[in-house]
Amino acid sequence: LTSVTLTNCSKDFRYPLFSVTYSMVFAVGLPLNAAGLWIFIRRLGLHTVPVIYMANLAMSDLLFTLSLPLRIIYFITARWHFGNTACRIPGMLFSVSLYSSSLFIMLISVDRLLALVYPLRSRALRTPTFAWLTCGLVWGIIMALSVPVAINHRATWDNNCNVLRCFEHYGKEEWTMGFYILLVVTVMGIAIPFTVILGCTLTVIRKLRTISCTMMNKNQVICIFMGNLFIYSICFIPFHVAFILFGLQKVKWVSWTTDFFFAQTITMCLASTNSCLDPLIYYITTKQIKRNNKTEATMMTTMTYRGLSWTGLEACSF
């Protein structure tokens, strides 16, 4: 929900801002994620755990980018043209994309952690079957949480401007229900995944200090985790902090004099760029996968016939 009561029908800085932002995200995010999904399916094949997670992440971003034309038309024309049912779809897809992306990024971090720190003990968990089951669970949870969002995200009539609105102009009743939903998804979809990713990052950095590995390999491993934290720091955390503060004002649980409307608007634009930044994860992780494909057969042969353990040098090629 992005609810505000419009006081001026002709002048609202959000309309050109969202129009430009969503147009840029659509122009960049659609081809990048479509190309990424094609590479995962046709070139790499959905046979390894990180590829499966990244393919689902690309699909999540595609769902959001494909819904953007409706938002772009709305903010360009300053009115909703497509009826109440159609208004629910972009709002739901925004939530589905945002929180499924968050969880898939967490799964990528956990998988990379297991590959580096527990490469042998985690092999039973790091299988395509387990990855697909986990992805199915993520989609199920996210879709279940998005149903209340869709129900609450309806088109409303603006009596002041005599136009139909979408994504805004909600009353206190809608905001109260939406705020409870926001708190639940923030904990499950943002706070818990961020804590897991942060823990994975610190564990990996500590592990890299104890193993023999080239500086280039170490940097590439760290880049995966730092890239994930970067996306959270830019896209997810600022938006939810601003949204919660703004929501507290809308439901009138607090009486702060500071207006968080501007912060909520700007951070929502940042959250929308998530579908453009996720391809960074594809690029960095895919480089690791390609190196792993070249060395894994030799490593496993050495381990089998010479009785060697998986050393830190081998782990750097995960």
- What average pLDDT does the segment 136-147 reach? 92
pLDDT above 90 coverage of the chain, percent:
44
Q: Is 252's pLDDT higher than 90?
A: no
Q: What is the structure's pLDDT at 289?
A: 63
Q: Is 317's pLDDT higher than 60?
A: no
- What average pLDDT does the segment 271-277 reach? 93
More confident of the two residues 8 and 187: 187
| Structural contact between residues 154 and 140, judged by C-beta atoms closer than 8 angstroms | no
Q: What is the structure's pLDDT at 314?
A: 43
Taking the domain 14-299+306-315, which CATH number applies? 1.20.1070.10
pLDDT class for 139, splitting at 50, 70, 90?
very high
Q: What is the structure's pLDDT at 33?
A: 95
Q: Is 294's pLDDT higher than 70?
A: no
Please tell me the least confidently modeled range out of 25-39, 118-132, 152-166, 179-193.
152-166
Distance CA 310, CA 60 (A): 35
Q: Is 256's pLDDT higher than 80?
A: no
φ, ψ for residue 164, nearest 5 deg: -90, 130
Residue written as tokens 């309309």? 15
Tokens standing for 168? 């805004």
